[in-house]
Amino acid sequence: MFKIYRYQNAGITDPGQISNYRYLLNYTDTYEYGGYLPDIVAADIDITDSVQQVSINNTISSVFFRNTYTWRTPIYENTLDRDRDWDTYYGRIYNCNVIIDEVPGVTDGTAAEKDELIAEALTHRADAYLNLVNEYGKPYNSGTAAADLGVPLLVTPSLDQPLNRATVAAVYSRVEADLKTAIQSLPRTTQYNTLPGKAAAFSLLARMYLLMGNYPAAGSYADSALAIKSTLLDLATGVVPLRRDNPEIILGKIAGTSFAWAPTTMRLSQELLDLLGTKDMRYQLFTADAASMLGLATLSFLLL
């Protein structure tokens, strides 16, 4: 059993208290950070500068970056390296499993409070598995998903479970079931966008069905999410609020790390730059000239 301890008034609270599970869910670092390897292989970046390429090749800590960008295997050549994306998502899943497993047995709190905590954990777990299966498994194909290997499907808080890979279909089925269960108990709105509400579950279902190629269902759930939250941020003001206050964010999630510094600086692809154009406010607010940041005049513009 996962133990939660915190000091309060010279005493230690009991893990059976429902407040401790709220504290666990409110710890943003556990639930907001995601993977970062997919950003390296994205079509939106081009590592074409020869100086940067040489620097990446000659920097031991950047080997994983080179291997990911060029689709080489193994990504991590040093056996001491850890896959941070894998660790991040399964660490989150473990915490979610603790909450789902233990909250029904706590000695205080109402049934509605317990259901809401479990619903939040189900939503975060579904998001983690949807990212995992698309990073480490094959893309969903209705004809082969029942046989294609996905990722280990762990739904209990145990550290000694066998890590057998479930099929892609089984992982998607779990994501779907978790989200549809969560919707029933999630609040319509939340105080911070790092906490999942109904719109978050609807939007994740829309993304899941989009990846499955079920476009009618994807559109329907997208409409349900937008019916709850569809506010936009006016970038023309030049003011970008904190993530937690951003009116466009339905559920706050961010990449596991930044690549704003040499040698693993991400240069936007020319195709994306041509699409944006220099008058686009996203270009003006969210890119920077490499020469002003790193002294690498040949790198053009960087995604921050």
| Residue 113: inside a domain | yes
Q: Is it the case that residue 302 has pLDDT exceeding 60?
A: no
| Residue 160: inside a domain | yes
**135 confidence band (pLDDT: 50, 70, 90):** very high
Give pLDDT, residue 147. 98
Read off the pLDDT of each residue in 125-148 and give the average, rounded to a whole number: 97
| Residue 26: inside a domain | yes
| Residue 181: inside a domain | yes
Q: Is it the case that residue 4 has pLDDT exceeding 50?
A: no
Q: Is it the case that residue 200 has pLDDT exceeding 80?
A: yes
**14 confidence band (pLDDT: 50, 70, 90):** low
> Looking up tokens 């390897």, which residue turns up?
37
**117 confidence band (pLDDT: 50, 70, 90):** very high
Query: Is the model more confident about 15 or about 135?
Result: 135
Q: Is it the case that residue 297 has pLDDT exceeding 60?
A: no
Phi first, then psi: give them for residue 187, nearest 5 degrees. Answer: -70, 155
Least confident of 8-17, 34-43, 105-114, 151-160: 8-17
Read off the pLDDT of each residue in 234-242 and give the average, rounded to a whole number: 89
Give pLDDT, residue 257. 76
**103 confidence band (pLDDT: 50, 70, 90):** very high
State which residues form the domain around 97.
15-53+60-259
Q: Is it the case that residue 60 has pLDDT exceeding 50?
A: yes
| Residue 276: inside a domain | no
> Looking up tokens 């990212």, which residue turns up?
131
pLDDT digits (tens, 9 = 90+) for 265-289: 888 899 999 998 889 998 888 888 7
Q: What is the CATH number of the domain that holds 117?
A: 1.25.40.390
Phi first, then psi: give them for residue 232, nearest 5 degrees. Answer: -120, 155
Residues 6+ apart with CB under 8 A from 214: none
Domain count, the chain: 1
| Residue 90: inside a domain | yes
Most confident of 107-111, 172-176, 276-280: 172-176
Give pLDDT, residue 286. 86
State the amino acid at position 287 in one-letter form.
T
Give pLDDT, residue 78. 82
Within 10 A of 63 (CB to CB), how many other CB atoms are there? 17
Q: Is it the case that residue 301 has pLDDT exceeding 50?
A: no
Query: Is the model more confident about 258 or about 135?
Result: 135
Structure tokens at 97: 């499993």
Label each residue of the chain as H, E or C: CCCCCCEECCEECCCCCHHHHHHHHHCHHHHHECCCHHHHCCCCECCCCHHHHHHHHCCHHHHHHHHHHCCCCCCCCCCCCCCHHHHHHHHHHHHHHHHHHHHHHCCCCCHHHHHHHHHHHHHHHHHHHHHHHHHHCCCCCCCCCCCCEEEECCCCCCCCCCCCEEEHHHHHHHHHHHHHHHHCCCCCCCCCCCCCCHHHHHHHHHHHHHHHCCHHHHHHHHHHHHHHCCCCCCHHHCCCCCHHHCCCCCCCCECCCCCCCCCCCCEECHHHHHHHCCCCHHHHHHEEEHHHHHCCHHHCEEEC
Q: Is it the case that residue 16 has pLDDT exceeding 90?
A: no
| Residue 299: inside a domain | no
Read off the pLDDT of each residue in 108-117 and give the average, rounded to a whole number: 95
| Residue 288: inside a domain | no
Q: What is the CA radius of gyration of the chain?
A: 21
Give pLDDT, residue 80. 78
